[in-house]
């Protein structure tokens, strides 16, 4: 099994005619993802990499049965693109776009409350179920099918961790980059609940970073509700307060968001925390009984 996406997923790429949209459409197709349609207003009737382009998401759903969106729309229009996808009834929306104005995301978050859409991102690498499909920009070759789930706030660190897991003989069930912006569609807990009920997932790697309290909240959920092994890493352990480190959401402010607080909360919940990123693969292998 996998969560949210699988070999039956039919993707519509919003912004497919742009440079990033076209490039990553090709990469998804090469991986085996069914990219059923693309959307760029005013360019309906064209094709990109053999994929038909429509003017609206509704047309893509109606004519090509698209059920998942991948968004490569520029920041000023990305919020509207998310809401268009939700209005068209898409169950999963993956927004790669970085730099969406916070006020736009406030509007999006309110709009999605009564919709049956799961938003991954924005400012994320997407989601991949190895051997089945990938939606986004994750590099396919480093992944292999298996029982480890990965949930991460950092795209680049996701790739590093997945590579270590694969080299350690630990394949992955589904890997999700939830995004690094202050307002994102789904959290660690949202996906932990899904992985809890996924029989294929035997353990989880959680990659957090400074800023916010989502890791502490996840630790409390894991302590109370989650009975599968969890290995964690927190990025930004040497970051000074008040300075943003990489992601817009990765900033220590008001005494919240410190790496040491997150690490303590995770360890108090019985979670193994790798303090050195380079050791995470070996740590996971040991926890999962591979050595």
Whole-number Cα distances in Å, 46 to 6, 36, 63, 72, 207: 27, 13, 15, 17, 40
Same domain? For 146 and 262 the reply is yes
pLDDT digits (tens, 9 = 90+) for 66-80: 999 999 999 999 999
CB 21 within 8 A of CB 72: yes
Q: Is residue 115 part of a domain?
A: yes
Same domain? For 173 and 264 the reply is yes
CB 170 within 8 A of CB 147: yes
Q: Is residue 249 part of a domain?
A: yes
- CA angle, residues 192, 195, 196, in degrees to nearest 5: 85
> Does residue 278 carry a pLDDT above 80?
yes
Same domain? For 70 and 204 the reply is no
Same domain? For 93 and 167 the reply is no
Q: What is the pLDDT of residue 243?
A: 52
Same domain? For 44 and 167 the reply is no
Q: Nearest Cα to 98, choosing from 127, 81, 122? A: 122
Q: Is residue 108 part of a domain?
A: yes
- CATH number for the domain including 279? 3.40.50.261
Pick the last residue of a domain from 120, 152, 185: 120
Same domain? For 107 and 152 the reply is no
Q: How many domains, the chain?
A: 2
Q: Print the domain residue range for 100.
A: 10-120
| Three-state secondary-structure class, residue 203 | strand
Same domain? For 74 and 161 the reply is no
- Rounded-to-integer distance, Cα 196 and Cα 193, Å: 5
Over residues 171-180, the mean pLDDT reads 96
Over residues 130-157, the mean pLDDT reads 96
- CATH number for the domain including 26? 3.40.50.720
Same domain? For 221 and 254 the reply is yes
Q: Point out the least confidently predicted range of 61-65, 139-143, 211-215, 254-258.
A: 254-258
DSSP state of 256: B
Q: Point out the least confidently predicted range of 21-35, 148-162, 226-240, 263-277.
A: 226-240
Q: Is residue 114 part of a domain?
A: yes
Confidence at 1, pLDDT banded by 50, 70, 90: low
Q: What is the pLDDT of residue 65?
A: 98
Over residues 148-152, the mean pLDDT reads 98
CB 158 within 8 A of CB 150: yes
Over residues 4-19, the mean pLDDT reads 98
Confidence at 234, pLDDT banded by 50, 70, 90: very high
Q: Which residues participate in catalysis according to the annotation?
A: 247
**Which of the pair, 213 or 24, is modelled with greater confidence?**
24
Q: Is residue 34 part of a domain?
A: yes
Pick the last residue of a domain from 65, 86, 120: 120
Q: What is the DSSP string of 20-80?
A: HHHHHHHHHHHHT-EEEEEE-TT-TT-EETTEEEESSHHHHHHHH---EEEE---HHHHHH
Same domain? For 143 and 279 the reply is yes
- Bond from prior residue into 122 cis (ω within 30 degrees of 0): yes
Confidence at 290, pLDDT banded by 50, 70, 90: low
Q: What is the pLDDT of residue 238?
A: 52
Whole-number Cα distances in Å, 200 to 139, 149, 166: 22, 9, 16
Same domain? For 113 and 143 the reply is no
Same domain? For 208 and 95 the reply is no
| Three-state secondary-structure class, residue 85 | helix
Whole-number Cα distances in Å, 248 to 109, 175, 209, 245, 258: 17, 22, 11, 8, 15
Same domain? For 146 and 93 the reply is no
In our burial notation (b when 16+ CB lie closer than 10 A, e otherwise), range 18-52 reads: bebbbebbebbeebebbbbbbbbeeeeeeebbebb
């Amino acid at each position: 099994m996998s969560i949210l996406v699988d070999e039956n997923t039919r993707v519509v790429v919003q912004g497919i005619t742009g440079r990033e949209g076209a490039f990553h459409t090709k990469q998804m197709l090469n991986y085996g993802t069914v990219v059923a349609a693309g959307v760029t207003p005013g360019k309906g009737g064209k094709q990109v990499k053999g994929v038909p382009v429509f003017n609206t998401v509704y047309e893509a759903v109606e004519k090509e049965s698209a059920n998942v969106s991948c968004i490569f729309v520029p920041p000023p229009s990305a919020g509207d693109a998310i809401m268009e996808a939700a209005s068209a009834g898409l169950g999963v929306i993956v927004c790669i776009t970085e730099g969406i104005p916070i006020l736009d995301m406030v509007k999006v978050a309110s709009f999605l409350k009564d919709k049956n859409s799961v938003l991954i991102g924005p400012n994320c690498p997407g989601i991949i179920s190895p051997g089945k499909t990938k939606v986004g920009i994750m590099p396919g070759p480093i992944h292999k099918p298996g029982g480890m789930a990965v949930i991460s706030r950092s795209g680049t660190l996701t790739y590093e961790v997945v590579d270590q897991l694969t080299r350690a003989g630990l394949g992955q069930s589904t890997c999700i980059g939830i995004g690094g912006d202050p307002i994102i569609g789904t959290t660690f807990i949202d996906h932990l609940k899904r992985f809890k009920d996924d029989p294929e997932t035997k353990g989880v790697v959680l990659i957090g970073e400074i800023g916010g309290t989502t890791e502490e909240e996840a630790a409390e959920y894991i302590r109370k509700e989650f009975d599968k092994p969890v290995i964690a890493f927190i990025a930004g352990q040497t970051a000074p307060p008040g300075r943003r480190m990489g992601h817009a959401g990765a900033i220590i402010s008001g005494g919240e968001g410190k790496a040491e607080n997150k690490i303590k909360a995770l360890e108090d919940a019985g979670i193994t925390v790798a303090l050195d990123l380079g050791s995470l693969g070996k740590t996971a292998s040991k926890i999962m009984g591979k050595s």
